[in-house]
Chain A
Amino acid sequence: MRDILRNRMGWLHAWVGFVGGLVLVVAFTGGTLALFDTEITRWMEPELAALPEAAMTGEALDHAGAQVWALREKGQNVFLNLPSARDPVLRILHYDGHAFVGPVLDPRDGTALNSRETRGGQLFFDLHQSLYRGPVWGNLVTEAAGIGLIVAVISGVIIHFRNLVPNLLLFRPFAAPGRAWLDAHLVAGVLLLPFIIMMAYTGAVIHAPRLFPMIGAGHAARPAGRPDAGMRVVGPYAPLAPMLAQAEDIFGRGRIGFVMFGTGTVSFYRADAADFAMTRDHADFSAGDGRLVGVERIGRGMPRLGGAMRGLHFIRWGTPALRWLYFVCSVVGSMMMAAGLGLFLMKHRRVHGGTFRLALAETLALAVTLGLPLASLGYLWGSRLLPPELVHRADRETGVFFLVWLVALLHAGMRCLGGAVRPAWREQACAIAVLGCGLPILDVVSRAETAFRLRADVYLAVDACALGFGLLALWGQRVIVRAR
């Protein structure tokens, strides 16, 4: 091999792509599922399926406020999430170190609903932004992987620059496996280039303070359970409903997302879905008499840049159609990265076939490519099969996710070290097919006691997606068998 630009870029693309890709497939897949984190959370709370659709009443808000104040007097750092189109219930939430969890309240009267404890879709959000390793090291690794993705994209474009158009036209899905995977990798990479660059760049900018801790504007993440200094306050407290009406006069009707409780103040924050830029504008009220004490709005221009970056990345302002478009692009992006991992392994199998190093690489690639979707489906199965009244249920559910992933890793390790790489891929694809195709049946059976009705809602959407991925895995394992 000669030391020329194309070879150098090839080396950079291959190695940064493979090592970073192992993290990026996890982050991208987690992010893909996190696009619908609220909907997944609702699917994992089947008790709420029976709840009739109703607007929030002032009585419910005041009742919820009284419960929040009572919890804060006990020293718990909680806040109130208001109903929205995506999640039509009131929630008293606190950060447990990985997700915002807490009791669910009826939007009609503010009474607690008998819903099971779960981290829901926020597990995927945490996996996406910090690999479930906390806001320091986890963020740092995903941040570095995000930079690595941009490096891999730039070097990939340099390698294929002259052949970008021919590569797009020459998509041969039924050619030899190596050629077909390369075509798929190139077509997806070129078509999704703007989306992948945008997501990698905005994600990297959002967590930039992790990469440059000595400078920067601080970081939003806070360690779990940190006591809020001076948090204990004593009543009586003004009702929240009149404050909400005033806040809606300022920011617009239905544009308040959540309510934070401070020392002697109550702050109504504008919803993330209210605007393209996530700016955390808020109106502050005196907790004692409900008097408006201040309004904070992020001005136009440069201060909104950070909010615009967040808005582009999190797409909370987007319509369901736009979120589905992001979802499809993210799924294809994850597959493109997985195809890249496969191409790296195919290339090195010719030279290093049978070595421990290659078996290790095969194991890790299989564990992130198929093991993660398998664990995600296992997580959904676990949420319905674990008893609703189980103690520390959210932790047990998360435990199911990581247990399934660990089993997938061990299976991949044993099969790849034994030289049975192709059967290992086929077996994990079969497992995905079984769990994916079986999930709609599990949903129907486990919701039979509550209120199962076939209609276009979050339950049907999650079931359809699981069935779709199950059928895709079934097709994939047949392709593996035929390619023997």
Chain B
Amino acid sequence: MTLKSNRKTAKGGLWKRWLGRFVGGVACAYVCALGLFSLASGHAGGLDAILRQSLAIAVLPLVIVGLFALPGRRSGPSVFVALAVPFLHLTLS
């Protein structure tokens, strides 16, 4: 009984961690796609709008799955924010 209850608690904890990881991953992927967008259009003779959109849409799901697949039990959603901030800074500068 106790073992079953502990397993259930552990499963619930894992579910919440994965949900947090997924939400953080989606937010980070969106920022990455925006950054890619800005980088591609920032230079003189920047890429065509439709090509930028195509690249951003291609990158978005790959980054979401990639970040979700990253190993690390203790890495919460905060790690994605930490990853995204320098990228955003790079694109804005």
- Closest chain-B Cβ to A170's Cβ sits at a distance in Å of 26
Binds B, one of A129-137, A283-291, A299-307: A299-307
Per-residue interface assignment for chain A, residues 7 to 25, with 1 indicating a CB less than 8 Å from any chain B CB and 0 otherwise: 0110110011000000000
B57 near A12 with CB under 8 A, answer no
For residue B81, CB closer than 8 A to chain A, the reply is: no
Name which residue of chain A comes closest to B52, CB basis: A215
- Closest chain-B Cβ to A141's Cβ sits at a distance in Å of 15
| CB-CB under 8 A for A5 and B52, given A201-B58, A204-B57 | no
| CB-CB under 8 A for A151 and B61, given A8-B68, A8-B69, A212-B33 | yes
A147 near B58 with CB under 8 A, answer no
- Closest chain-B Cβ to A121's Cβ sits at a distance in Å of 27
Residues in B whose Cβ lies below 8 Å from that of A303: 48, 50
Task: Give the distance in Å from the alpha carbon of A158 to the alpha carbon of B41 in the complex.
Answer: 33
B61 near A212 with CB under 8 A, answer no
| CB-CB under 8 A for A150 and B61, given A11-B18, A309-B50 | yes
B65 near A155 with CB under 8 A, answer yes
Candidates A1, A9, A150; contact of B11 at CB < 8 Å: A1
Name which residue of chain A comes closest to B33, CB basis: A212
CB contact list, B1-29 vs A, under 8 A: 10-11, 14-15, 17-18, 22
- Closest chain-A Cβ to B20's Cβ sits at a distance in Å of 12
Residues in A whose Cβ lies below 8 Å from that of B64: 147, 151
B51 near A147 with CB under 8 A, answer no
For residue A3, CB closer than 8 A to chain B, the reply is: yes
Name which residue of chain A comes closest to B66, CB basis: A154
B62 near A217 with CB under 8 A, answer no
A309 near B54 with CB under 8 A, answer yes
| CB-CB under 8 A for A302 and B48, given A1-B11, A12-B68 | yes
Task: Give the distance in Å from the alpha carbon of A17 to the alpha carbon of B48 in the complex.
Answer: 32
Task: Give the distance in Å from the alpha carbon of A11 to the alpha carbon of B57 in the complex.
Answer: 23
| CB-CB under 8 A for A3 and B14, given A215-B41, A217-B49 | yes
A-B contact count (CB 8 A): 79
A215 near B38 with CB under 8 A, answer yes
| CB-CB under 8 A for A147 and B57, given A8-B69, A9-B69, A212-B33 | yes
A205 near B14 with CB under 8 A, answer no
A147 near B60 with CB under 8 A, answer yes
Name which residue of chain A comes closest to B72, CB basis: A3
For residue A99, CB closer than 8 A to chain B, the reply is: no
For residue A208, CB closer than 8 A to chain B, the reply is: yes
Residues in B whose Cβ lies below 8 Å from that of A5: 69, 71
Residues in A whose Cβ lies below 8 Å from that of B17: 3
For residue A438, CB closer than 8 A to chain B, the reply is: no
For residue B34, CB closer than 8 A to chain A, the reply is: yes
Residues in B whose Cβ lies below 8 Å from that of A201: 57-58
Residues in B whose Cβ lies below 8 Å from that of A205: 50, 53-54, 57
For residue B73, CB closer than 8 A to chain A, the reply is: yes
Task: Give the distance in Å from the alpha carbon of A253 to the alpha carbon of B38 in the complex.
Answer: 43
For residue A138, CB closer than 8 A to chain B, the reply is: no
B53 near A216 with CB under 8 A, answer yes
For residue A58, CB closer than 8 A to chain B, the reply is: no
Name which residue of chain B comes closest to A200, CB basis: B61
| CB-CB under 8 A for A3 and B73, given A11-B18, A205-B57, A208-B57 | yes
| CB-CB under 8 A for A208 and B53, given A12-B65, A151-B61 | yes
Name which residue of chain B comes closest to A157, CB basis: B65
Task: Give the distance in Å from the alpha carbon of A204 to the alpha carbon of B61 in the complex.
Answer: 11
A215 near B34 with CB under 8 A, answer yes
Residues in A whose Cβ lies below 8 Å from that of B11: 1
Task: Give the distance in Å from the alpha carbon of A208 to the alpha carbon of B51 in the complex.
Answer: 11
Name which residue of chain B comes closest to A201, CB basis: B57
Residues in B whose Cβ lies below 8 Å from that of A204: 57
For residue A103, CB closer than 8 A to chain B, the reply is: no
For residue B56, CB closer than 8 A to chain A, the reply is: yes
For residue A209, CB closer than 8 A to chain B, the reply is: yes
CB contact list, A1-52 vs B, under 8 A: 1, 3, 5, 8-9, 11-12, 15-16
Per-residue interface assignment for chain A, residues 198 to 223, with 1 indicating a CB less than 8 Å from any chain B CB and 0 otherwise: 00010011001101101111000000
Partner-A contacts on B (CB < 8 A)? 10-11, 14-15, 17-18, 22, 33-34, 37-38, 41, 48-54, 56-58, 60-62, 64-65, 68-69, 71, 73
- 15 further interface pairs, Cβ-Cβ under 8 Å (given A155-B68, A211-B57): A5-B71, A9-B68, A150-B61, A151-B65, A205-B50, A212-B34, A212-B56, A214-B34, A216-B49, A216-B53, A217-B53, A302-B50, A303-B48, A305-B50, A309-B50
| 29 contacting pairs across A/B (C-beta < 8 A) | A1-B10, A1-B11, A3-B17, A5-B71, A8-B18, A8-B68, A8-B69, A9-B65, A9-B69, A11-B18, A12-B18, A12-B65, A155-B68, A201-B58, A209-B53, A211-B57, A212-B33, A212-B34, A212-B37, A212-B53, A215-B38, A215-B41, A215-B49, A216-B49, A216-B53, A303-B48, A303-B50, A309-B50, A309-B54
Partner-B contacts on A (CB < 8 A)? 1, 3, 5, 8-9, 11-12, 15-16, 147, 150-151, 154-155, 158, 201, 204-205, 208-209, 211-212, 214-217, 302-303, 305-306, 309
